[in-house]
Amino acid sequence: MQIASATLADLDCVAALFDAYRQFYEQPADVALARSFIEARMRRGESLVLLARADDGAALGFVQLYPGFCSIEAAPIRVLYDLFVQPAARRAGVGRALLLAAEAQARADGIARLDLTTARSNLKAQALYESLGWVQDRVYLAYNRHIRG
């Protein structure tokens, strides 16, 4: 398996994975929307996408990280918003490898912290995160306020 930063040459591949990710979270299939969204992030440099491929080039999964800042630490952070592994590639270490690659890239880029949220019901993902040293925040509560729609 190889993990590398995705480029526009990988757009169709990443868009298909992103569409599957959205479907996992009960969104309707829409490859055009997925492609448009990912393309905009890539062209504007608004996210970092790491793509895992099998030795034969088949896409196995991806992680998408958004830049952010922590005012308290006065330092840049990244928000790990999307992590998806093809169902056929699960339980083969792809998710673990993507998380470790994200951490290594963050360290190389001088990022102070990685943050993520996951569904309370996603126990498998939670076990993976905790096995890699991620710690559940017990100090702060997360809130959302939907503005659009």
Helix (H), strand (E), coil (C) string for the chain: CEEEECCHHHHHHHHHHHHHHHHHCCCCCCHHHHHHHHHHHHHHCCCEEEEEECCCCCEEEEEEEEEEEECCCCEEEEEEEEEEECHHHCCCCHHHHHHHHHHHHHHHCCCCEEEECCCCCCHHHHHHHHHCCCCCCCCCCCCCCCCCC
How long a stretch of residues is the chain? 149
Please tell me the predicted confidence (pLDDT) of residue 149. 76
2-131: CATH topology is: Aminopeptidase (3.40.630)
Please tell me the predicted confidence (pLDDT) of residue 20. 97
Q: Where are the domains of the chain?
A: 2-131
Give pTM, 2 decimals.
0.93
Q: Which of the residues in the chain have pLDDT under 70?
A: none
Please tell me the predicted confidence (pLDDT) of residue 148. 86
Please tell me the predicted confidence (pLDDT) of residue 113. 96
